Structure 1
């Protein structure tokens, strides 16, 4: 009886799938004349330019953290500035699942308007932060308001990028944009460091406001919404299948992402200050470390994406996430933890290795989604991979915020008592240990996989 009951369900799902496929095919045929090479080039150029206003501040916040530490003029606890960078990343990633869902179909016509509102909010936030007199002003304006504004720019424009490259070279398009993001993360620290040294943080934030406004408005109008989204009838859109929330695999990898992200944001925030205060490096050398930290991301994402999709020697999601997590933890424990005064070489080695292995962790999510797709197919269930990807970004945001909140008390604890020699004996010792432990648990899927294997022993 159970077997007979599954037949009509399968037929209905197959008919729905065919209907949606036919609808999408007809939309592609209708919109094909609009998909000129010139339009796609403009979309790609606009998406590449947007990486500067969206990620430039978040990926370079360590420079501001160092400046605040050396030139404190605000009221409130100086240590609170440590949560701004991680909170900024957290708010951005936490917003993405909701914003992607809003602008996928029903509000597709409002994408450009929403992105422009994001520009206004971001510029207003940075402008207000330049008038800050208390540290909580920076937390609210830079860590929350500006971050949400950047997410409001990122979500609708990224959806349009994926739609314009739906039928050809989508992977190449995303690869180009991701490379531009890491180029921004490598160049902006020097740009912002120079502005801070010459003009101070208030004029620097106002100059950054002008750069955000100029580059964002130009780029947004280079990215039109795809005709297929504009012509989609909202009442015909499919309901999101939530069956994947009943399976443990989703939660195992979500927890792993939260743990890995909580440690990944710590070096981005504190590495510059550590290099200047503990290893006594110059400000230029400390800024160089942040650039070196972001550089490997240009190639590591492609590398881990290749490992996840490699057809000749396929690796499971468990394996790829574990390679990234374990290697990142070893880098933190062996290179960052063993640094001492003047040990520039070890910090460079840490920046390169941790930046490569931890920076490529999010590229393993493709393998995670593939694994969840296979499980859904085995259970004869539908799955919306876009929604899954959005929720994984949300988990990353939780990790960033958690790491930022944990960093302040850990730094205070390190200033009271040391935990050994070298870097471990400094006030940053607890932060180093936290970074290593949290990133190693990003490979918690190994434990889950081992548990499943034991069932067959």
Structure 2
């Protein structure tokens, strides 16, 4: 990493921190009469800005870019666009330039249920692939196919689903929100249905691999842009509820697929049932979804407008930002460990001598735990700090993998492990967006989000292939020992990276505290009280200044300094 890149990344992170502090303390000006808000209204505006910056979403960045020209139209007599608060820049939607805040309810709850159903039918259904994988491994469904060939199918669904998400977001700016979703539904139906007629391995790659992976991206990425327009104060609750769809879908489809494979003797009818169920659910959800304030897509007529939207989402200027690179590599390692866990648990259980039903139940319990774990992460992050919770959960994952998974030998032990690991294994999926929002200025959020999602996707393609290549059939006690160690190392690497990001965050917070030290600390009843207060302030200032000193010792002290970040 060059010094220049690190400097640019730290500078961008510093700008982001200063901007958020500035926005939180800035009172909103009325776009209609340009009068100063009252104290109560200013405090309320500051609260809304804080909520927005804590749960900044891709839709907010898209809306801010779309409103930029509109804001310029109303510049006369008001603040210029760059100086307006983030609330004005995102929610100025009315023709007269007024602010239209989300209603935090109403039809938004219907949309929340619909987004949950989309997650249920995409990533939730994809969690059941671990059951298919165990069946493929143990029954030789396709002649001449090895376990590596089947593992590559699992990698395709994740790699295309994660890597194509930025492209799906770009398509929403060209076609509107629902256009890519209907294409995704078509791909989903064709992928699952045609997989039932696959007789050769390359046909399985194209159907259950590529088509399903692309359909996941085209469905879930546009769907996630709906809720930010409906919710602001209750955004955390709505987003948390939508995340339960992944776990609930994993539970439902894992149990269904396992039961159908047992009754029918092959994978064809389970795939057909999934094709019907996922397609119908997605169609109903997409039809009912509605944007609160639809953003006009650029359409196909203007090539200049299309290139502009592409540049906004895929700008590579963020690739030189040190903190963005940290988040991207952390996300890749954490997702690697996640997919190893989700897809390997069922085949591992069968290899340990458990029945296919017991193996499927382990995957089901893991996904059921995600229904509780994923929404809880957002709440805990708001309360104790997003990076703090990410560090804690990644540490727990590392410990669970090395100290618990390696020592599990029977069904009861594995069942308890599945519940524990499922409660925190989705930390990367939940925390990646908020960590990106904390790392860059709002104008750089979209390209940073795209970069983070795209960087690790090629590696996810071979995730399960690596897992199977590390197995050792000669080790009868535990053929998956090396795979388990590799998964633990992935979580450990993710932990080291998120700790580096925490050091940056703590350092920037300390620098802000030192620079903003108050010259006056108020009026006290006696000189002794005032002197004591000054003494305490000086002590804290000295401690913070000392922590900012260079050297390995201070670096580690900042990394583990107790503060909310």
Q: TM-score range by the shorter chain?
A: 0.7 to 0.9
SS of 1:384's partner is helix
- The answer to whether residue 103 in structure 2 is matched with residue 51 in structure 1 is no
The normalised TM-score by structure 1 is 0.81
**Is it true that 1:365 corresponds to 2:452 in the alignment?**
no
- Given candidates 230, 236, 243, the residue that maps to 1:171 is 236
> Greater relative contact order (Cα 8 A, min sep 6): structure 1 or 2?
1
CA distance in 2, matches of 1:372, 1:115: 30
Alignment match, 1:187: 252
SS of equivalent to 2:443: coil
Map 1:15-94 onto structure 2 (within 5 A). Answer: 15-18=80-83, 22=88, 24-27=90-93, 38-79=106-147, 80-94=149-163
Number of the residue aligned with 2:273: 207
Query: Aligned with 1:295: secondary structure?
Result: helix
Contact 1:308 1:316 in 2 (8 A): yes
Partner Cα separation in structure 2 for residue 189 and residue 435 of structure 1: 22
Distance 1:36 1:344 in 2: 44
**1-structure distance, mates of 2:407, 2:89:** 59
String of CA shifts for 1:289-337, please: whole Å, max 9, x gaps: 1011112222322333234322xxx4462x4333222211221122221
Partner in structure 2 of residue 4 of structure 1? none
Distance in 2, Cα, partners of 1:436 & 1:33: 44
CA distance in 2, matches of 1:371, 1:71: 48
TM-fit CA distance, 1:145: 1.2
1:383 aligned onto 2:478: no
Query: CA 1:25/1:130 → structure 2, altered by over 3 Å: closer, same or farther?
Result: closer
Deviation per CA, 1:104-160: give whole Å up to 9, x if none. x4432xx22221111111111111111111233222211211110121122222212
Match for residue 473 of structure 2?
415
Counterpart-to-counterpart distance in 2, 1:389 and 1:449: 19
TM-aligned CA distance change 1:148 to 1:154, over 3 Å: same
Q: 1:74 to 1:365 in 2, by over 3 A?
A: closer
Higher helix share: 1
How much does 1:21 deviate? 6.0
Which one of the candidate residues 331, 356, 367 is aligned to 1:294? 367
Give the root-mean-square deviation of aligned CA atoms.
3.3
Contact 1:264 / 1:358 at 8 angstroms: preserved in 2?
Answer: yes
Candidates 450, 454, 461, aligned match of 1:401: 461
- Greater radius of gyration (CA): 2
Matches of 2:122 and 2:456 in 1, distance apart? 17
1-side partners of 2:298 and 2:94: how far apart?
11
Q: Distance in 1 between matches of 2:490 and 2:104?
A: 46
5+ residue gaps, structure 2, are 1-18, 20-71, 508-547, 555-565
Matched residue, 1:7: none
Bigger CA drift: 401-410 or 91-100?
401-410
Specify which of 120, 126, 134 is matched with residue 186 of structure 2. 120
CA distance in 2, matches of 1:213, 1:448: 40
Alignment of 1:245 with 2:319, yes or no, is yes
CA contact (8 A) 1:86 1:404 kept: yes
Q: For 2:288, what is the secondary structure of its paired residue?
A: coil
State which of 225, 245, 248 in structure 2 corresponds to 1:159.
Answer: 225
| 1:220 is aligned to 2:286 | yes
Does the aligned pair in 1 maintain the 2:386–2:431 contact within 8 Å? no
Shift of 1:269: 1.4
5+ residue gaps, structure 1, are: 1-9, 377-381
After superposition, give the CA deviation of every residue in 1:58-109 in whole Å (9 maximum; x if it has no partner). Answer: 1111111122223323123230212322331221011112222332x4432x
Distance in 2 (CA, whole Å) between partners of 1:114 and 1:344 is 43
Q: Give yes or no for contact 2:318–2:444 (8 Å, CA) kept in 1.
A: no
82-91 or 36-45, which moves further after superposition?
36-45
CA contact (8 A) 2:244 2:375 kept: no
Give yes or no for contact 1:308–1:366 (8 Å, CA) kept in 2: no
Match of 2:328 among 240, 247, 254: 254
Equivalent pairs counted in the alignment come to: 421
Distance 1:396 1:300, change over 3 A: farther
Asked if 1:338 corresponds to 2:407, the answer is yes
Query: What CA distance in whole angstroms lies between the structure 1 residues aligned with 2:279 and 2:501?
Result: 46
Contact 1:297/1:355, CA 8 A, preserved across alignment: yes
TM-score (norm 2): 0.67
CA distance in 2, matches of 1:336, 1:400: 22
The 1:242/1:297 distance shift into structure 2, 3 A limit, reads: same
